[in-house]
Amino acid sequence: MFHRKTMASLLSYRDKKGGITEQGINKAISVLLIYNKIIENIRVRKVFVIATASFRNLQNKDETADAIKKTTGFDVNVISGEEEGICGFIGATYNVNVDSGLMVDIGGGSTEFVFYKDRKICRTYSVQMESLSLFANFVSGIIPTKEEYKRIKKYVESQLESIDSGEAPTQILCGVGGTSRATCKLSNDYFDLPLANRVIEPHYIKKLLIHCLLKGIDRAVRRLDGMIK
């Protein structure tokens, strides 16, 4: 199956009113036009453009969708946070032999929590707790300071208070998305684990946080940057 991914980073084009700038709209259009050429070459019959939180939270999403439709011909289907969580769950559990637990998708525009039991969804939550906006709202430079980290932690804890797991089991957490993959890559490199490893032990996360916050997060970032390249 053909696969291609482009980091459009549309959240970085938001203006002070919470909308996307003209430059951001043009970026989205240019990416879609490139993909459209690929679609035409391989003769795909049905195409669906799905927009998630980064688009869903825009103040001018309707105007943006109209501009995209006018130039590319694509209709933009904006899905809800709950739908995003369900889609993530279906994709994450397709090849994972985990019948019950918690799926977490930390994205750039939102974070989805899906509690499931016997491979069936029990509860789904979508909260405004995402990597890019946390960085934009709390971090003044490139690397968060200890005080900025404390403020981020306080905000995250306040968002988690709205989540009720109910009777759903939470012994196993399945991480979805780029943030989880990057954390796993960093963990594998730091603890000298195989590149193919996809499991992060709970105590590894604590050690990674201590290392990043107290022993040089810049070094950790350089290491991760090297792995990505």
CATH number, span 10-78: 3.30.420.40
Rounded Cα–Cα distance for residues 78 and 53 (Å)? 8
Taking residue 167's Cβ as centre, other Cβ atoms within 10 Å add up to 8
**pLDDT attached to residue 54:** 83
Enumerate the CATH 3.30.420.40 domain ranges in the chain, comma separated. 10-78
Degrees to nearest 5, angle at CA 127 with 89 and 107: 60
- Residues of the chain short of pLDDT 50, as ranges, are 224, 227-229
**pLDDT attached to residue 19:** 92
Enumerate the CATH 3.30.420.150 domain ranges in the chain, comma separated. 81-228
- On whether the CB atoms of residues 60 and 20 are closer than 8 A, the answer is yes
Q: Is 5 exposed, middle or buried (0-12, 13-18, 19+ CB in 10 A)?
A: exposed
- pTM value? 0.76
- On whether the CB atoms of residues 122 and 164 are closer than 8 A, the answer is no
Degrees to nearest 5, angle at CA 186 with 85 and 6: 55
**pLDDT attached to residue 168:** 62
At the fourth CATH level, the homologous superfamily of domain 81-228 is Exopolyphosphatase. Domain 2 (3.30.420.150)
